[in-house]
A and B are shown apart, each in its own frame.
Chain A
Amino acid sequence: MTPLQKQREYWQRTRRMTVFLLVIWFVVTFVVSFYARDLSRFSIFGFPFGFYVGAQGALIIYVLIIWYYARYMNALDKKYGAREGED
């Protein structure tokens, strides 16, 4: 593979992963909040569900998204043999 091809593929994968994780972020943040009233009929760990997502659930998912992204991208760098990291 030429560097140019690599670059194209690398960017395509980066973009795909970014969009995928942003969709999760969007659903957790905005879709769940939008329906928070209806979701609060359920309860989880003694909290109303809508409240729980805003206070804890969403936060934990955010940190997982970032963790996964860092892991995925760092592996991608390695896979494509990126000359980076120790400058």
Chain B
Amino acid sequence: MIDSTAQMRRYYAFYSLSFLAFVIALGVLEYYGMPPRWIGYSFLFLTIVLYATIGVMARTSNVAEYYVAGRKIPSVFNGMATGADWMSAASFMGLAGTLYHTGYQGLAYVMGWTGGFVLVALLLAPYLRRFGQYTIPDFLATRYGGNAARLVGVFATVLASFVYVVAQIYGVGLITSRFVGLQFEIGVFVGLAGILVCSFLGGMRAVTWTQVAQYLVLTVAYVVPVAMLSFKVTGVPVPQVMYGRVMQKIELLEHKISNDPAEIAARLLYQQRADTYSAKIAGLPESLGEERRWLSVQIEKLKNSNVPMRDVFALERQRRELPKTAEGARDYWDALMQQATQHGAALTPHAEPFPGKDDASRQTARLNFITLVFCLMVGTAALPHVLMRYYTTPSVREARNSVFWSLLFILALYLTAPAYAVFAKYEIFSNLVGATIDQLPSWVGAWGKVGMVSIEDINLDGIVQLAELSLNPDVIVLATPEIAGLPYVISGLVAAGALAAALSTADGLLLTIASALSHDVYYKIFRPNATTQWRLVVSKTLLLVVAVLAALFASQKPATILYMVSWAFSLAGAAFFPALVLGIFWKRANKAGAISGMVVGLLITAYYMVRVQFDAIPWLGIHGIGMEPWLGIQSTSSGVWGVGVGFLTIIVVSLLTDSPSRDTLDFVESVRSPEFPVS
């Protein structure tokens, strides 16, 4: 199916046109009264069938085809596939929401996730392609001699990719449960089936061609709604250019909202609520008993009066949810206190870099911004599922071109995300804030039902203040079509796009994990004489096991998508980046240095991440392990320590031990430059 580029172009041109026709047809059907539920079904069903068809058509049982798509993917298509591989549920759903909430600070993700490709292009992709094996641990093993480096590489690959894949499957669960109305846990497993059809049958070849299709769906789905919103607000459907002007309007609105007396009063009420929780925490363990007694008294009082039963139930639920132990109560109240503090905090100006109430907090904001950018960039240049893609091009030259195409295709989404946030913010600030609570726009109710939007009238004035609005970051992209008053078919399109983003990344990740285990551990270490057929059987079995495990984890709803993804970046960056870069650019780096550097980097990162992020791990029975972050750097940037220490360890240990062998030095030469004929 896959031999000529011209033929592939024709296929995908035909495919794009059919997809467009399909969207328009659904739009027409909606106009004639097709119920929204069916539109949701058709989108999800049709796109999954489509990906599966490509997966089946590109199935393979050849090892080179399975692991690296036969090294026959032209650079443009590899760029698209990398784009889809790269843009995950976090980019698609989380990014615009984060930008909405944090303004300038959120740009760290935009810069980090694009600038990392400069490192990929300059430091890694061409050299890995020239090396030309199958996995990243392959490179480590050849460069640093032996299975120890390979095993550390496999461990880090599996760890980082697994954290990342859990986030994707979680995203799939969210989408299917919201748009098709499946239960979250069932949605997770339905999505899983979609993921497996592609990666299971055809390995890298099938995944690549499916990802090209998914790239097209997700980009169209991302850009269309915000272009329409831009047209509605400014009259020009090019949001990337127009949002500067809208930002100026937002600045005026921010000023107006911050000085609104009702707004100030609402914030004050939230601050007082936070203080109450803080007092309760200080009064532990006695305050827990007091709280329970107080609630019981209230419930009795209400039962004997004429208030609606709903209020009584609400209080009873509150009593039920009250934890049994003092430690539990501390965590419970602490979460509530933080929530109230957030609502009570002053408005963050959208365009202002590093906002803060004093110089010290501005410095911390700046440091966090810069370290996060650094971690995301280094992580980009170290995530095995992205680096592996550059093994699939036909030549080094094509690998270089392919990085360019990758970033170009990725920019379609990343240049749009900040515009998304701004247009959504403008709509919310100008139409939702100040509306009366009994006449809310319909999207608030629709998304309120699934718990993504809520409004609490804390000052009881019947009008929405900004402080009273809670908005889950993921909702911004998903709800924009409704916020802009677009037909439901566009919402279906967005859901299909989000699904494509999550599925494509999950496919790439699962394949990477399975390759690391089957190729690196099973074939290279345990059974070097295994037959090709048997290797593929092992790989496919492992893929299935890992996928089911990831789905089980995801159905526990561990943390927010963006957090999980940032951790994966920090872990991958700390483990791989120093060893890979020094392996190519510093001949003196040796086995002992690389292994110790990778292990130390990984450990430091994991240690910092766990202690800063979690004060308690209830299911392990661990409490009170939280620590103050060093220099105020958050857990999402923990890789900054790991990468720094990793580089240092490799250099110091390498210099203290013997220089690498002649063979290794020759190997480095062979990776650095092409063969020159004698002339």
* Extra A-B contacts (15), CB below 8 Å, given A7-B676, A22-B118, A37-B366: A3-B678, A33-B366, A34-B366, A36-B104, A37-B354, A46-B245, A47-B351, A51-B353, A56-B418, A59-B111, A59-B115, A60-B411, A70-B404, A86-B394, A86-B395
Query: Among the listed B108, B373, B395, which residue makes an inter-chain contact with A84, where contact means beta carbons less than 8 Å apart?
Result: B395
The CB with the most chain B CB atoms within 10 A, among A55, A83, A87, is that of A55
Within 8 A of A (CB), among B617-660: none
Query: Among the listed B117, B672, B674, which residue makes an inter-chain contact with A66, where contact means beta carbons less than 8 Å apart?
Result: B117
Q: How long is the Cα–Cα vector from A86 to B411 in the complex, in angstroms?
A: 29
Number of interface residues of B (CB under 8 A): 56
The CB with the most chain B CB atoms within 10 A, among A30, A34, A51, A74, is that of A51
Closest to A40 in B: B353
Interface of A: prevailing SS: helix
Q: How long is the Cα–Cα vector from A86 to B244 in the complex, in angstroms?
A: 46
In the complex, the 4 A-B pairs of residues with the closest C-beta atoms, listed nearest first: A46-B244, A54-B107, A82-B674, A36-B353
Contact B240–A56 (Cβ < 8 Å): yes
Question: What residues on B are CB-neighbors of A48 within 8 Å?
Answer: 247, 351
Contact B396–A85 (Cβ < 8 Å): yes
Interface residues of A (CB under 8 A from B): 1-3, 6-7, 10-11, 14, 18, 21-22, 25, 28-30, 33-34, 36-37, 40, 45-48, 50-52, 54-56, 58-60, 62-63, 65-67, 69-70, 73-74, 77, 80-87
Contact A33–B407 (Cβ < 8 Å): no
User: Given that A6-B676, A54-B111, A69-B121 are known contacts, is A33 also in contact with B248, CB under 8 Å in the complex?
Assistant: no
Question: What residues on A are CB-neighbors of B373 within 8 Å?
Answer: 29-30, 33
Q: How long is the Cα–Cα vector from A84 to B132 in the complex, in angstroms?
A: 12
A-B contact pairs, 10 of them (CB 8 A): A3-B675, A7-B673, A33-B369, A33-B373, A51-B104, A63-B407, A66-B407, A69-B400, A73-B126, A83-B674
- Interchain nearest-CB distance for B420 vs A (Å): 11
Closest to B114 in A: A59
Contact A33–B111 (Cβ < 8 Å): yes
Contact A58–B415 (Cβ < 8 Å): no
Query: Among the listed B104, B114, B366, B676, which residue makes an inter-chain contact with A62, where contact means beta carbons less than 8 Å apart?
Result: B114
Contact A54–B110 (Cβ < 8 Å): yes
Interface residues of B (CB under 8 A from A): 104, 107-108, 110-111, 114-115, 117-119, 121-123, 126, 130, 132, 240-241, 244-245, 247-248, 351-354, 362, 366, 369-370, 373-374, 377, 394-397, 400-401, 403-404, 407-408, 411, 414-415, 418, 669, 672-679
Contact B354–A36 (Cβ < 8 Å): yes
The CB with the most chain A CB atoms within 10 A, among B107, B247, B377, B673, is that of B673
Interface of B: prevailing SS: helix
Contact B673–A11 (Cβ < 8 Å): yes
Q: How long is the Cα–Cα vector from A87 to B374 in the complex, in angstroms?
A: 35
Question: What residues on A are CB-neighbors of B117 within 8 Å?
Answer: 62, 66
Closest to A28 in B: B115
Closest to A45 in B: B244
User: Given that A3-B676, A51-B351, A82-B675 are known contacts, is A25 also in contact with B118, CB under 8 Å in the complex?
Assistant: yes
Contact A63–B675 (Cβ < 8 Å): no
User: Given that A33-B369, A56-B240 are known contacts, is A50 also in contact with B353, CB under 8 Å in the complex?
Assistant: yes
User: Given that A51-B107, A51-B351, A87-B395 are known contacts, is A21 also in contact with B677, CB under 8 Å in the complex?
Assistant: no
Question: What residues on A are CB-neighbors of B676 within 8 Å?
Answer: 3, 6-7, 10, 80-83
Question: What residues on B are CB-neighbors of A74 within 8 Å?
Answer: 397, 400-401
Query: Among the listed A52, A67, A87, which residue makes an inter-chain contact with B404, where contact means beta carbons less than 8 Å apart?
Result: A67
Question: What residues on B are CB-neighbors of A14 within 8 Å?
Answer: 672-673
Question: What residues on A are CB-neighbors of B353 within 8 Å?
Answer: 33, 36-37, 40, 50-51, 54
Question: What residues on B are CB-neighbors of A28 within 8 Å?
Answer: 115
Contact A2–B678 (Cβ < 8 Å): yes
Question: What residues on B are CB-neighbors of A80 within 8 Å?
Answer: 674, 676
Question: What residues on A are CB-neighbors of B673 within 8 Å?
Answer: 7, 10-11, 14, 82
Contact A59–B415 (Cβ < 8 Å): yes
Closest to B401 in A: A70
Contact A33–B370 (Cβ < 8 Å): yes
Question: What residues on A are CB-neighbors of B122 within 8 Å?
Answer: 18, 21-22, 25, 65-66, 69
Question: What residues on B are CB-neighbors of A36 within 8 Å?
Answer: 104, 353-354, 366
Contact A70–B121 (Cβ < 8 Å): yes
The CB with the most chain A CB atoms within 10 A, among B118, B408, B675, is that of B118
Question: What residues on A are CB-neighbors of B104 within 8 Å?
Answer: 36, 50-51, 54
Closest to B75 in A: A70
Question: What residues on B are CB-neighbors of A59 within 8 Å?
Answer: 110-111, 114-115, 411, 414-415
Q: How long is the Cα–Cα vector from A37 to B353 in the complex, in angstroms?
A: 5
Query: Among the listed B245, B354, B370, B400, which residue makes an inter-chain contact with A70, where contact means beta carbons less than 8 Å apart?
Result: B400
- Interchain nearest-CB distance for A57 vs B (Å): 10
The CB with the most chain A CB atoms within 10 A, among B117, B397, B403, B415, is that of B397
User: Given that A30-B373, A59-B411 are known contacts, is A3 also in contact with B123, CB under 8 Å in the complex?
Assistant: no
Question: What residues on A are CB-neighbors of B679 within 8 Å?
Answer: 1, 81
Question: What residues on A are CB-neighbors of B675 within 8 Å?
Answer: 3, 82-84
